[in-house]
Amino acid sequence: MCNAGDRSVLILYATETGTAQDVAERLARLCRRIHFSCRVFSTDKYSLSDLISEPLILFVVSTTGSGLEPRAMSLMWKTLLRSDLPVDLFEDLSFAVFGLGDSAYEKFCWPAKKLSRRFVSLGATEICDRGEGNDQDPLGVDEALESWLDKIMQVLVQAYPLPPDLEIIPAAAVPPARASMVQDTELDPPTPTGGFHLTTLRCNTRITAEDWYQDVRHLEFDFDEDIQYSPGDVAVIRPLASPSDVESFLDRMGWLDIADTPFRITHLMTDQSLPELMGEAVTPRTLFAQHLDFNSVPRRTFFNYLRYFTADELENEKLEEFLSREGADDLYEYCYRVRRTIREVLADFRHVTIPIDYVFDVFPPLRPRQFSIASSVKVFPRQIHLCVAIVKYRTTLKVPRRGVCTTYLASIRKGDKVRIALQQGLIKPTPVNNTPVICVGPGTGVAPMRALIQERLHIGPCDNTLYFGCRSATKDQHYGSEWRSYASTGALVYRTAFSRDGPEGTKRVYVQDVMQEDAQRLWKLIHAGASVLISGSSNKMPVAVKNALRFAAETYGQLSVDEAADFVSRMEEKGQLMEECWS
């Protein structure tokens, strides 16, 4: 334990979508209330060599895929797994962990659990029971987070008592703004690139039938320079909010008269982040078109801030009710069940007036979105292809919803400029042609499989199998003609499952059912060292596919149930079975 007078804490987070970062910043605000000095870093932005000198660390770790750590945590985890680390390495370190996950996945909060065990094994002291937030709970991760925050606050106050001249800052006190925004008409707001390439759209084609309920697009982008990426890598795209949406939002906020006025931004609370690539100056119109999100479903923090900025008694009473433990169900019904957006909430709470300095505290960043690359750079130099499902649905309020990024992608036309960054993916297949590969990619999960198969065929003859599933052979069989062409030359074994094409009342067939039919062939390929790659929706598919592999191991490998399960687990551990799935 560190000296009670040393009131400093390091908060490290590992995130894919930004939720863990939001939790880390809430944790920092809580720690400031008990007079801790906070430093907040993403795990990939922190010098790992300094870990050994830290007295107190609070970790916030999300889960990616089926139990994987976020990309940002990979280097730290590899370092912690080194076999030469002494068992008393962290004997002077106190720590606590909050994990974020989704119980729909097979390994719920797995990275957080592994991190806790590893630090304890290296001599560190875990000062608070690990928290585990579940996206499946009615209030999402907040359901577990609220009680964990109360618990960690009690633990810290007990372990590090406040000096006699200090008191806990009340929760009702308005936190200081993380930044100040001052009008400066002399400034010319820059356009930072930050690793994003300016690309040109060459193709935006719908590949599902026009009368089909889902709009899936094939997009192609040209780069002006040589690029490098591998099968399994992803394109990161920064979306733009609709100009009409931005205009109406600025009108609601009373900011139309300053919409195009440059503001100088000064970062005040450095333990609270600002949007990336924003620069030191920005106009409110650009801010809400490119950097801050007013169309997402708000987190609990948002409602907490609204309390500070309304003088209306009824609104304040309703917000207090939403934020109380007794009102949690009401908040769920009002906001999360119907997926009410920030803009819609502000339309209801019309007396809320948000000071311009607090925009970075109230509104979440408009985050870039990641899409698996559906092409090989060896086949298409200076190009990437994407396979994107355009997100459209109706809530129980009967209000149409559209994904911000996919709506943006659906709207762009040939010749339009789009900023794209390239990032390493979670699956890292080796496109060598002398090892068989089994690809399982239903729906848009077929995107990284297309990149891998293209690259393997470019290298030379190889043993490729693709299991593809969709609802209809004629409506949403993505790249079907391409797969059939490869299959006709013997370059690909193409196996399909069309779940809605059978007669009414018959059992629906999915990729895992076809794989079970092919169990004998699958076992021969796996026994010969074949890699298995899974990509697509995380609901039931990944677990069912692994069950099909276990069935093959039991039936044709003569393994017991436990041995088959252990065999598939070892495939995952050694990278013979890789998965990138999303909810």
Sort 557 into a burial class: Cβ within 10 Å, 0-12 / 13-18 / 19+.
middle
Q: Quick one: which H or E segment has residue 421?
A: strand 417-423
More confident residue, 105 or 356: 356
More confident residue, 304 or 2: 304
From residue 186, give the alpha-carbon distance in Å to each of 93, 115, 189, 261, 281: 49, 49, 10, 10, 10
User: In the 8-state DSSP scheme, what is residue 575?
Assistant: T
More confident residue, 363 or 502: 363
Beta bridge partners of 498: 470
Positive or negative, the CA dihedral 546, 552, 554, 555 is positive
Mean pLDDT over the full length of the chain: 92
Q: Are 451 and 232 in contact (CB under 8 A)?
A: yes
Lowest-pLDDT range of 7-16, 128-137, 301-310, 424-433: 424-433
Contacts 24+ apart (CB under 8 A), 120-123: 121/87, 122/80, 122/85, 122/86, 122/87, 122/88, 122/89, 122/90, 123/86, 123/87, 123/88, 123/89, 123/90, 123/91, 123/93
Residue 1's pLDDT band, with cuts at 50, 70 and 90, is very low
From residue 308, give the alpha-carbon distance in Å to each of 108, 340, 422: 36, 21, 40
Give the Cα separation of 371 and 450 in Å (integer): 13
Tokens of 175: 């936190």
Q: What is the pTM of this model?
A: 0.88
User: In the 8-state DSSP scheme, what is residue 174?
Assistant: P
Average of pLDDT values for 73-78? 92
Annotated binding site, which residues? 15-20, 62-65, 135, 339, 369-372, 403-406, 444, 499-500, 508-512, 582
Average of pLDDT values for 115-142? 93
Q: What confidence score (pLDDT) does residue 5 get? A: 52
Q: What confidence score (pLDDT) does residue 2 get? A: 44
pLDDT at 348 over 90: yes
Q: What confidence score (pLDDT) does residue 102 get? A: 85
Give the Cα separation of 477 and 473 in Å (integer): 5
Annotated binding site for FAD, which residues? 339, 369-372, 403-406, 582
Annotated binding site for FMN, which residues? 15-20, 62-65, 135
Would you give the distance in Å from CA 493 to the centre of its chain?
Answer: 32
Annotated binding site for NADP(+), which residues? 444, 499-500, 508-512
Tokens of 37: 């000095």
For tokens 């000062």, name the residue. 127
Lowest-pLDDT range of 15-24, 98-107, 112-121, 476-485: 98-107
For tokens 């339009």, name the residue. 416
Tokens of 55: 């007295």
> Residue 318: helix, strand or coil by DSSP?
helix
Q: What share of the chain has pLDDT > 70, as a percent? A: 97
Q: What share of the chain has pLDDT > 90, as a percent? A: 78
Residue 583's pLDDT band, with cuts at 50, 70 and 90, is low
Average of pLDDT values for 545-574? 95
Q: What confidence score (pLDDT) does residue 4 get? A: 44
Q: Are 127 and 98 in contact (CB under 8 A)?
A: no
Q: Quick one: which H or E segment has residue 300?
A: helix 300-308
From residue 132, give the alpha-carbon distance in Å to each of 73, 74, 196, 480: 18, 20, 34, 42
Q: Are 63 and 582 in contact (CB under 8 A)?
A: no
